[in-house]
Amino acid sequence: MGLRERIGILFWLLIGIIVSLASIRLGIGRAANPGSGFMPFFSGLLLIFLSLLLVVQEIRKVRAKPSISFSLNINKNLGILVCSFLVFIFVLQTLGYLISLSILLFVLLEATAPKKWISSLLWAIGVSICSYLIFSILLKCNLPRGIFNLG
Amino acid sequence: MDYLNSLIFGFSVTFEPINFLYCFWGVFIGNLIGVLPGIGPVGTIALLLPFTLGASPVAGIIMLSGIYYGAMYGGTITSILVNIPGEAASAVTCLDGYQMARQGRAGPALGIAAFGSFIAGTLGVIGLMFLAKPLASFALRFGPPEYFALMCLGLTMVVYLTQGSTLKGLITAVAGFIVSQIGTDIINGRPRFIFGLAELRDGIGLVPAVVGLLGLSEVFLNIGESEISIYKTKVKGLLPNLEDWSASIKPIFRGTIIGFLLGILPGGGAIVASFASYAVEKKVSKHPERFGHGAIEGVAGPESANNSATAGSYIPLFTLGIPSNVVMALLLGALMIHGVQPGPLLMKTNPEIFWGTVASMYLGNVILLVLNIPLIGLWVQLLKIPYRLLFPLILVFMLIGVYSVNNSVTDLYIMMIFGIFGYLFKKFDFEPAPLILAFILGPIMENSFRQSLLMSGGNFNIFFMRSISLTCFGIVFALLMSEGIPSLRKFKSKIQAE
């Protein structure tokens, strides 16, 4: 069984166990009067059962065809995208929509397709302002204005 | 006469200026998205779902429907000109459409696809109109056990037809069901799995979950990918000649029927329909060796099939309240957010939604035909937009869309988490579609299941004593058992590989 399959199975097995245990605390009840934990408990058990079936399936597959080595092959830009996105959400209320989005887009453009920094900056600010005009002014979406009361 | 009056009523709803505008924008955006590879109709509907929440339910559903069948039209253009399907249902069109383009016949290929789609789309809507009413009357006999069984069947069919392992599909479906149980228990009001977060009391929002899982994960996957190149050909002579028409007319009608019937079936839909139609056309052709080398029948049939399947897939949603695929599940979610419960009574309680949507589909098909023929040059130019410039725009749409539903930063975090999961699902070969379907159906399934048990005093036999639920569970059992039969498993893998 390859590393990828092992990680996948372990993950679902763990989720199944956690959900089943948490459901017992919620109260399973009886079939005639199911409690809040009734459906989650059996869903958790089903998840455990299916994960175990996947173990059997993968072992059979390995016997038939030896496992191929696995690499997640995560794009380097993905880390930057996820981190900058998290920072964006964190500062959105404080800095406001316009400033936060301009920074996010600038960082992403520079990281994923480095061109002249000034063109990335202009594209980032342009997209932010245009989207603000369309969504906030025209469509009346309530976007955060931040401490600078901008956008 | 009754149908005619209802249809006239539907047109009066559709031609209200705001609904007309939503219809136009829906088909236009759908067409545009269909053209751009990398963002399918499911992702687009998820992305634009929040923007329809401010409108009336009928305007919202008209727009989302427009996106769906608009994307079916648009997806063809990239299949023919670039050999990259704009969306999965147009994948089979690449086989002959791209070869036609290489032979300098891109124009007739695009033309017959547009006309075929128009004919099939319109006939599909007629079928929807006439079939929905009797089916809705039949569905009135359904009680909670039948609904639970039918939803299990729909979910199993989607899992079964999902690309890759059925077992992995079942796992993601169960995971979706578990996610749907986060929030307050609908029967006794007790909070479940909310980890002390007040924002989770109402459960995980449909919009952040779906946008994250289907939209954001696509951005994660595509970021840094190489740009596509367009096959340099002049698109001329879009109107097919008489020879093209005589070769295509039968495939168009066959595709319409195949697509419509497969669209109704749970788990079916445009993708299966287009592949089935291609297989049938190749089978009935006197010259099957031409297929794959630029046979116009290989474009006309599948393109008609995927459009009529779109109309067919509305039948289970509108008459039973059960979505047959992920797009329909999103439409169900949108209706539920608006407080509308689709099902056998929809035509009586909300006739404007049913007939308004039906009429908007006639109108949308005309708009698409008018848009597609003269605007093909513009769509081709759009293909040249580099992804590095496109993805910031997609991100902005997602951010504003998710944030503006509740003005909540928590929703953005939820979208982020689901985006990462969506990305990992694809990396680990787990399909997200069953998760979405189970997530949306989860609360209805739990309700039906618990109601059934209350009705029977805790006796599980209630699911096997009624003919409809017994039949549904019989099919579920047969489908799952067929996975254990090597020859059937090989047959399924062969279909998926093709």
The neighbour count for residue B55, using CB atoms within 10 Å, is 17
Chain mean pLDDT for chain B: 82
Q: How many domains does chain A have?
A: 2
Residue B38 pLDDT level (bands cut at 50, 70, 90): low
At A136, is the secondary structure helix, strand, or coil? helix
Residue A70 counted as domain residue: no
Residues of B in contact with A33 (CB under 8 A): 454, 458
Residue B75's pLDDT band (cuts 50, 70, 90): confident
Q: What is residue B284's predicted lDDT score, i.e. its pLDDT?
A: 86
Which B positions 116-155 lie with beta carbon below 8 A of chain A? none
Range of the domain at B36: 2-497
pLDDT at B121: 82
Query: What are the φ and ψ backbone dihedral angles of B38, each rounded to 5 degrees?
Result: 105, -25
Contact B144, B403 (CB under 8 A): no
Q: How confident is the model at residue B345 (pLDDT cuts 50, 70, 90)?
A: confident
Please give, rounded to a whole number of angstroms, the shortest distance from the CA of B460 to a CA of chain A. Answer: 8
Over residues B379-406, the pLDDT tens digits come to 777 766 777 777 777 788 788 878 887 8
Enumerate the residues of chain B whose CB falls inside 8 A of the CB of residue A81. 219-220, 223
Confidence of residue B292 (pLDDT cuts 50, 70, 90): confident
Residue A87: band (very low, low, confident or very high) from pLDDT cuts 50, 70, 90? very high
Residues 6+ apart with CB under 8 A from B145: B448, B452, B455, B462, B463, B466, B469
Report the predicted TM-score, pTM, of the whole model to 2 decimal places: 0.79
Query: B90 to each of B76, B86, B187, B195, B272, how far by Cα in Å?
Result: 6, 7, 44, 43, 11
Nearest-Cα distance to chain A for B424, in Å, is 9
Which of A64, A93, A109 is the C-terminal boundary of a domain? A64
Q: Confidence class of residue B328 from pLDDT cuts 50, 70 and 90?
A: confident
pLDDT-based confidence at A18, cuts 50/70/90? very high
Cross-chain CB nearest to B174 (options A47, A72, A76): A47
* Residues in chain B within 8 Å Cβ distance of A26: 190, 192
Q: Chain A within 8 Å of B492 (Cβ-Cβ)?
A: no
CA B14 to chain centre: 22
Residues A51 and A88 in one domain: no
H/E segment holding residue A109: helix A97-112
Predicted confidence band of residue B413 (pLDDT cuts 50, 70, 90)? very high
Determine the pLDDT at residue A52.
93
Q: Are residues A48 and A102 in the same domain?
A: no
Contact A82 B416 (CB under 8 A): yes
- What angle, rounded to 10 degrees, do the helices at B387-406 and A97-112 form? 150
pLDDT at A151: 57
Closest residue in chain B to residue A136, using alpha carbons only: B400
A103: confidence class by pLDDT, cuts 50, 70, 90: very high
Same-domain status, A57 and A80: no
Looking at chain B, the whole-number percentage of residues with pLDDT higher than 90 is 12
Residue B42 pLDDT more than 60?
Answer: yes
Q: How confident is the model at residue B232 (pLDDT cuts 50, 70, 90)?
A: low
Interface test with chain B among A14, A39, A97, A136, by most B beta carbons within 10 Å: A39
- Taking Cα atoms as reference points, which of B194, B468, B205, B481 lies closest to residue B322? B468
Distance in angstroms between the alpha carbons of the first and the last residue of chain B: 45
> How far is Cα B368 from Cα B24, in angstroms, rounded to an integer?
9
Say yes or no: A28 and A48 in one domain. Answer: yes
Q: Could you give the count of Cα atoms lying within 13 Å of B443 in the half-sphere of its Cβ? A: 19
Last residue of a domain, one of A20, A41, A64: A64
Task: Tell which wins on pLDDT, B218 or B177.
Answer: B177
Q: Let me know whether A110 and A134 are in one domain.
A: yes
pLDDT in tens, B145-176: 998 998 888 888 778 766 678 888 899 999 99
B445 or B188, greater pLDDT: B445
Mean pLDDT value across residues B112-133: 85
Same domain, A87 and A51: no
pLDDT the model gives residue B16 = 92
Residue A50, domain extent: 3-64
Separation of CA A76 from chain center:
17
Residue B224 pLDDT greater than 80, yes or no: no
A46 and A98 housed in the same domain: no
Quote the percentage of chain B above a pLDDT of 70. Answer: 90
In whole angstroms, give the CA distance from residue B140 to residue B34. Answer: 37
Label residue B338 left, alpha or beta by phi (over 0 means left) and psi (-120 to 50 means alpha).
Answer: alpha
pLDDT over threshold 60, residue B441: yes
Q: What is the number of domains present in chain B?
A: 1
Q: What is the average pLDDT across B69-80?
A: 78
Mean predicted confidence (pLDDT) in A102-120: 84
Whether residue B170 and residue A50 make contact (CB cut-off 8 A), yes or no, is yes
The shortest C-alpha distance from B438 to chain A (Å) reads: 12
Residue A144 is assigned to a structural domain of this protein: no
Query: What is the radius of gyration, based on Cα positions, of chain B?
Result: 22
| Residues of chain A with C-beta less than 8 angstroms from the C-beta of B391 | 108, 112
List C-alpha distances in Å: A118 to A110, A115, B386: 10, 8, 18
pLDDT of residue B226: 54
B405 touches chain A (CB under 8 A): no
Residue A97 lies in a domain: yes
Is B417 in the A-facing interface, judged by CB distances under 8 Å?
A: no
**Residue A74 pLDDT greater than 70, yes or no:** no
Of B43-52, B289-298, B352-361, where does mean pLDDT reach its minimum? B43-52
Q: Provide ipTM, 2 decimals.
A: 0.89
